[in-house]
């Protein structure tokens, strides 16, 4: 089974909502982890981001990470063409 992308975020975060919508629109499987409800996840985000709770923080199966990416950055990482 393919490992999922992990999206660390929060419900109040507009960039997190945009990121989740982008992934859903392009049918990309991901695990949504709310750092407001999961203190361990919040600590993971802080560790990744040098003590900051920067969200969305996205961890890919290959171990790479994007923090607060634009849709273009996500598309490039995932090999999705945004040209319509």
The reply to whether 10 falls in a domain is yes
For the chain, how many structural domains are there in total?
1
The reply to whether 58 falls in a domain is yes
Look up the domain containing 24 and give its range. 5-68
The answer to whether residue 2 scores a pLDDT higher than 60 is no
The reply to whether 79 falls in a domain is no
**Could you tell me the CATH number of the domain that includes residue 58?**
3.40.30.10
**pLDDT at position 59, please?**
98
The reply to whether 80 falls in a domain is no
The reply to whether 42 falls in a domain is yes
Say if CB 57 and CB 67 are below 8 A apart: yes
% of the chain with per-residue pLDDT over 90:
90
The answer to whether residue 1 scores a pLDDT higher than 60 is no
Residue 35 class from Cβ within 10 Å (0-12 exposed, 13-18 middle, 19+ buried)?
buried
The per-residue pLDDT of the chain, averaged, comes to 94
Distance separating alpha carbons of residues 55 and 46, to the nearest angstrom:
10
The reply to whether 17 falls in a domain is yes
The reply to whether 83 falls in a domain is no
Distance separating alpha carbons of residues 26 and 42, to the nearest angstrom:
27
Which residues lie closer than 8 Å to 56 by C-beta, 6 or more apart? 7, 8, 9, 13, 15, 16, 19, 67, 68, 69
Query: Residue 21's pLDDT band (boundaries 50, 70, 90)?
Result: very high
Query: Residue 83's pLDDT band (boundaries 50, 70, 90)?
Result: confident
Average pLDDT rounded to a whole number, residues 40-53: 96
């Amino acid at each position: 089974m393919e490992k999922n992308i992990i999206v660390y975020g929060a419900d109040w975060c507009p960039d997190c909502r945009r990121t989740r919508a982008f992934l859903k629109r392009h049918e990309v499987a991901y695990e949504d982890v709310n750092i407001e409800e999961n203190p361990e996840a919040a600590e993971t985000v802080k560790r990744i981001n040098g003590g900051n709770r920067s969200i969305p923080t996205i961890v890919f199966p290959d171990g790479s990470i994007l923090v607060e990416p634009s849709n273009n950055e996500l598309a490039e990482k995932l090999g999705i063409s945004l040209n319509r």
